[in-house]
Amino acid sequence: MNVQKINQILSENNFPKYRLSQVLDGIFKQFASSWGEITNLPKELIEILEKEAPISSLEAAQDFEALPKDAAKILFKAKDGNFAETVLMKHADKGESGGGRKTVCISSQAGCAMNCAFCATGQGGFFRNLTAEEMLDQVLHYCRILKKQGERVNNIVFMGMGEPFNNYDNVIAAIKLFNGAEYLNIGMRHISVSTCGIVPGIEKFAKENIQANLAISLHAPTDEIRNRLMPVNVAFPIKKLLAAVDFYIEKTNRKVMFEYLLIDGINDSDDCAQKLIALMQKKLYHVNLIKYHSTSAALRVSSQARQTKFFDILKKAGVSCTFRRSFGEDIQAACGQLSGQRK
């Protein structure tokens, strides 16, 4: 839904200014799925909007629901034929609406250029950046579904397809649409951006004066291992990455989450745990350990015993650490599994 285009239509056709408020209320409060559902708009305006400003820039091409019914995934098709995937995660704990929290994991790009070894998105290559409108429409899709169930979206995470800081301006524009009182009105602290370690993006984000959360895909405690898993580390090695994170913390005084997939025989040893402990000595550093979900024949999932041992080593050393629950593995909706392809 393109707010700028709607403003232009209202202005060019001399509609009164209050019509914009009615449109925004219909989209962001009523979660209308068609212009005709907004009953206080005149027929003339509805006809113009239907012709010139489609209510969604994306078509739901295929949807999936996890067997435990704790996650759902949509494969979206854009107008130019590119695809992106979006995931709804249904948490068991209570959210603001009384039911379990609902988190939408959105894509910022169609494909990804970062080529991380553990990620299906990068293996498929990069196609283009998504617009702020396309990011907004991913969330609105699930807002409409949840409203029918008496629930709402509580959290948004930029952890789907693509590297958000390689599409920086559109991501910031989307965040402001998610947060704006006249739009989705989701608190900044319920919005998280995850980067593979684009240092200039982290530094720029630190100066935005917004309270959105920052997550870093670390996945290795040494440059040698990280180079193997994440080509971005060649340009932005761990020392440079952590310096940018410290700059962010200095500017914002906000906790930073470090994501760490546990991959058998590569980054899950006791020695890797000790090296990670040495890196995670700052007060506002927090580690999210994540189960690796198989996307490559060259990589294997750590055993449950090894995952538990790694976690225990970190906790006993006083590292702030949690094991992040996986959602939607059976529908290829978990971390690293999004490919943007029809199944």
Query: What are the catalytic residues?
Result: 85, 335
Strands across the sheet containing 83-94: 58-65, 71-78, 83-94, 100-105, 155-158, 191-195, 213-217, 256-262, 285-291, 321-323
Residue type present at position 224:
E
Q: Contact 135/142 with Cβ under 8 angstroms?
A: no
Question: Measured between alpha carbons, how far is residue 334 from residues 15, 98, 179 in Å?
Answer: 46, 25, 25
Residue type present at position 199:
V
